[in-house]
């Protein structure tokens, strides 16, 4: 048919398919249609590919600087096979890749930038549906945020976790082992040589962190939200079944275009409530609190910090994975993966919305009701949980008027209710300079407080909230202390750590005026975080200086940092930019010519 090219009449697609968006580019016989097709043809695309097939964008976060996503060219090839087989046409495009391990000051700083890239790339280009290739922590929320603001038929394919780390005959988990070993070096328990030799063993295959860190958490969030096929969260990156899932996802996205199954039909309030419950059951990362809020905000779904209390609290953590527990993602998959967890929750009437729709057109419950479970140690029963109440603790009080969070499964039970005197660090540099000072006035009952590490203060809200303990206390055998900051912490970290204090110090929150020796009471069970200082004194202290001065000064130097500092919302609002919240749809923009 090379010689008989026929421009499809408008709407010349299967009867059930809505008029394809891509036909606005490729479906006309005028000057514009010529131009759109002609340049694409330089890639060797025959005429018939333009004759009304759904065009599927594959949004790829491949980058060799994002090692967790460095195998994504191969992943994309398998998605393409599935798209072609189902009668669609795949077009792969790159977007900003947020690599957690290399990017400074933190990949969180550029999460919103990546989401803008994704949103504009989807809306401005000829595509009818989108497959999001995600893996490393921030790539999942960034792509879902951008896609939600467009609301095309969309599904997620995750890159999958690394195989178990191995070191000296033992399994070691991404990130978690780094925190553990570095404390052991400081306490004089192991040599620097031993520490260094764990590096290669920790990351020995393609994929994301193999602990229940933020990447695995967000993969589980995507699956429980219903925006991926079942088992997407846990199949190891190098397991052939990961590539089968990619192929089947390619098949499915084409059907979704024919069914007009848009993201907004899946990302409902019910879906987010399922995800919050799931997060408690898996012992997921505190970062999910911020990311789910940001994704919901893009979809126009109201999600509040207190929903985490309402939906999550009282739910046992049954997935026994590091950092809270023992095992790693490989074992999680072999034990039955997330479908087995969801089935267990559902059978105990603890899955809030079984009828929530997922991208395969079935309900969440239909997808998991027969899911097999092979290992009760890894996925424990609800009456023998890892943590009795694994839901995220949302804290409030005069120290965090807009909230703070604490992950109980990572905390020491005895410290969940604790009163102690503040040892204050004005910022992360101050902390680093003084934490190991032998003269620092601190004991195991003290509360470590760090300021200016929030979204504005650090530009991106660094993962420094799990401040390492003073060497002199580590040497005495102290393993945990209450720590409070406006920072985040890595999903691979642990400890009795109060995070995301809002408003942050650099936005004028009361955290800015905590002083050495102030008494602080944390009562995680009651959801309270209070500075025992009279209100008048607090007001007086707050009036004495503007904690925003430094970030305002830095903002004045320009660049993306200026946009970031001037528009980033606080942690309780998901740290999105104020002007990005909401769904703007994917109406076809005007021509350029």
Contacting residues for 303 by C-beta, under 8 A, at least 6 apart: 269, 272, 292, 293, 296, 297
Structural contact between residues 117 and 35, judged by C-beta atoms closer than 8 angstroms: no
Structural contact between residues 150 and 586, judged by C-beta atoms closer than 8 angstroms: yes
CA triplet 283, 284, 290: central angle to 5 degrees? 145
239 binds, among Mg ion, ligand FES, none (CB under 5 to 8 A by kind): none
Q: Tokens in use for 364?
A: 């969440």
Using alpha carbons, select from 523, 337, 318 the residue that is nearest to residue 418: 523
Contacting residues for 362 by C-beta, under 8 A, at least 6 apart: none
Contacting residues for 512 by C-beta, under 8 A, at least 6 apart: 451, 452, 505, 506, 542, 547
Is residue 208 close enough to count as binding Mg ion by CB under 5 A?
no
Q: What are phi and psi of 510, to 5 degrees?
A: -60, -20
Between 112 and 210, whose beta carbon lies closer to ligand FES? 210
| Minimum CB distance to Mg ion, residue 331 (Å) | 20
Between 492 and 551, whose beta carbon lies closer to ligand FES? 492
Is residue 217 close enough to count as binding Mg ion by CB under 5 A?
no
Between 209 and 368, whose beta carbon lies closer to ligand FES? 209
Between 57 and 213, whose beta carbon lies closer to ligand FES? 213
136 binds, among Mg ion, ligand FES, none (CB under 5 to 8 A by kind): ligand FES
Between 103 and 340, whose beta carbon lies closer to ligand FES? 103
86 binds, among ligand FES, Mg ion, none (CB under 5 to 8 A by kind): none
Between helices 214-225 and 269-282, what is the axis angle to 10°? 140
Residue ranges of alpha helices (H) inside 16-96 are 23-26, 31-41, 72-85
Is residue 214 close enough to count as binding Mg ion by CB under 5 A?
yes
Between 214 and 551, whose beta carbon lies closer to Mg ion? 214
Q: In what order do the strands lie in the sheet with 393-397?
A: 400-406, 393-397, 528-531, 519-523, 417-425, 447-450, 482-485, 497-498
What is the radius of gyration, based on Cα positions, of the chain? 25
Q: Which residues bind ligand FES (CB under 6 A)?
A: 68, 100-101, 136-137, 174, 208-209, 213, 215
Structural contact between residues 346 and 354, judged by C-beta atoms closer than 8 angstroms: yes
Residue facing Mg ion at closest CB distance: 214
Among 490, 496, 551, 570, binds Mg ion (CB under 5 A): 490
The DSSP letter of residue 57 is E
Between 220 and 299, whose beta carbon lies closer to Mg ion? 220
Between 68 and 311, whose beta carbon lies closer to ligand FES? 68
551 binds, among Mg ion, ligand FES, none (CB under 5 to 8 A by kind): none
| Minimum CB distance to ligand FES, residue 201 (Å) | 16
- Which listed range, 15-23, 94-102, 335-343, 559-567, lies at the site for Mg ion (CB under 5 A)? 94-102
| Minimum CB distance to Mg ion, residue 179 (Å) | 12
Q: Tokens in use for 254?
A: 């084409």
| Minimum CB distance to Mg ion, residue 493 (Å) | 9
Between 101 and 530, whose beta carbon lies closer to Mg ion? 101
Give the footprint of Mg ion on residues 121-150 (CB under 5 A): 137
Give the footprint of Mg ion on residues 60-89 (CB under 5 A): none
101 binds, among ligand FES, Mg ion, none (CB under 5 to 8 A by kind): ligand FES
Between 312 and 491, whose beta carbon lies closer to ligand FES? 491
| Minimum CB distance to ligand FES, residue 200 (Å) | 16
| Minimum CB distance to ligand FES, residue 210 (Å) | 9
205 binds, among ligand FES, Mg ion, none (CB under 5 to 8 A by kind): none
68 binds, among ligand FES, Mg ion, none (CB under 5 to 8 A by kind): ligand FES
Distance of CA 48 to the CA centre of its chain: 39
Is residue 176 close enough to count as binding Mg ion by CB under 5 A?
no
Q: Tokens in use for 573?
A: 């609002």
Structural contact between residues 434 and 425, judged by C-beta atoms closer than 8 angstroms: yes
Is residue 331 close enough to count as binding Mg ion by CB under 5 A?
no
220 binds, among ligand FES, Mg ion, none (CB under 5 to 8 A by kind): none
90 binds, among Mg ion, ligand FES, none (CB under 5 to 8 A by kind): none
Residue ranges of alpha helices (H) inside 260-382 are 263-266, 269-282, 287-299, 305-307, 329-335, 337-347, 364-368
490 binds, among Mg ion, ligand FES, none (CB under 5 to 8 A by kind): Mg ion
| Minimum CB distance to Mg ion, residue 137 (Å) | 4
Between 487 and 554, whose beta carbon lies closer to ligand FES? 487
Q: Exposed/middle/buried for 235, CB within 10 Å: 0-12, 13-18, 19+? A: buried
The DSSP letter of residue 308 is I
Q: Exposed/middle/buried for 528, CB within 10 Å: 0-12, 13-18, 19+? A: middle
208 binds, among ligand FES, Mg ion, none (CB under 5 to 8 A by kind): ligand FES
Binding site for Mg ion (CB under 5 A): 100, 137, 213-214, 490
């Amino acid at each position: 048919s090379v010689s008989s090219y026929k421009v499809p009449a408008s709407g010349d697609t299967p009867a059930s398919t809505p008029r394809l968006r891509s036909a606005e580019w490729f479906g006309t016989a005028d000057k514009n249609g010529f131009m759109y097709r002609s340049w694409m043809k330089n890639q060797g695309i025959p005429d018939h590919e333009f004759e009304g097939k759904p065009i599927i964008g594959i949004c790829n976060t491949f980058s060799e600087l994002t090692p967790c996503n460095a195998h994504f060219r191969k992943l994309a090839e398998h998605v393409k096979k599935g798209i072609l087989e189902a009668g669609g046409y795949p077009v792969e495009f790159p977007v900003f890749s947020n690599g957690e391990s290399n990017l400074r000051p933190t990949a969180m700083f550029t999460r919103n930038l990546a989401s803008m890239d994704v949103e504009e790339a989807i809306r401005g280009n000829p595509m009818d549906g989108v497959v999001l290739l995600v893996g490393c922590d921030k790539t999942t929320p960034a792509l879902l945020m951008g896609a939600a603001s467009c609301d095309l038929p969309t599904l997620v394919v995750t890159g999958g976790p690394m195989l178990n780390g191995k070191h000296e005959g033992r399994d070691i988990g991404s990130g978690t082992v780094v925190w553990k070993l570095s404390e052991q070096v400081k306490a004089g328990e192991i040599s620097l040589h031993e520490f260094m030799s764990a590096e290669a063993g920790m990351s020995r295959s393609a994929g994301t962190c193999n602990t229940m860190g933020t990447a695995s958490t967000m993969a589980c969030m995507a699956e429980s939200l219903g925006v991926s096929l079942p088992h997407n969260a846990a199949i190891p990156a190098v397991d052939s079944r990961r590539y089968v899932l990619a192929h089947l996802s390619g098949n499915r996205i084409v059907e979704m275009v024919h069914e007009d199954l848009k993201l907004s039909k899946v990302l409902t309030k019910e879906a987010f409530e399922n995800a919050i419950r799931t997060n408690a059951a898996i012992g997921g990362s505190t970062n999910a609190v911020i990311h789910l809020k940001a994704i919901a905000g893009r979809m126009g779904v109201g999600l509040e910090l207190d929903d985490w209390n309402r939906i999550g609290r009282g739910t046992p953590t049954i997935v026994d994975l590091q950092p809270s527990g023992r095992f790693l993602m490989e074992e999680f998959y072999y034990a039955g993966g997330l479908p087995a967890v969801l089935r267990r929750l559902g059978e105990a009437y603890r899955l809030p919305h079984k009828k929530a729709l997922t991208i395969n057109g079935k309900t969440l419950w239909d997808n998991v009701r027969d899911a097999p479970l092979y290992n009760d140690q890894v996925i424990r029963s609800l009456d023998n949980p890892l943590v009795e109440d694994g839901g995220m603790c949302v804290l409030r009080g005069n120290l965090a008027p807009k909230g703070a969070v604490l992950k109980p499964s990572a905390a020491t039970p005895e410290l969940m209710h604790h009163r102690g005197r503040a040892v204050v660090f004005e910022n992360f540099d101050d902390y680093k300079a003084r934490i190991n000072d032998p003269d620092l006035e601190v004991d195991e009952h003290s509360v470590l407080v760090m300021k200016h590490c929030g979204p504005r203060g650090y530009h991106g809200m660094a993962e420094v909230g799990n401040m390492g303990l003073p060497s002199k206390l580590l040497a005495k055998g102290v393993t945990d202390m209450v720590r409070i900051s406006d920072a985040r912490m890595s999903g691979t970290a642990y400890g009795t750590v109060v995070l995301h204090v809002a408003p942050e110090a650099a936005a004028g929150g009361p955290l800015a005026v905590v002083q050495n020796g102030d008494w602080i009471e944390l009562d995680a069970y009651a959801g309270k975080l209070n500075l025992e200082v009279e209100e008048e004194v607090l007001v007086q202290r707050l009036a004495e200086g503007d904690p925003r001065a430094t970030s305002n000064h830095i903002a004045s130097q320009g660049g993306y940092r200026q946009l970031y500092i001037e528009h980033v919302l606080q942690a309780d609002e998901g740290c999105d930019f104020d002007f990005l919240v909401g769904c703007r749809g994917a109406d076809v923009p005007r021509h350029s010519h």
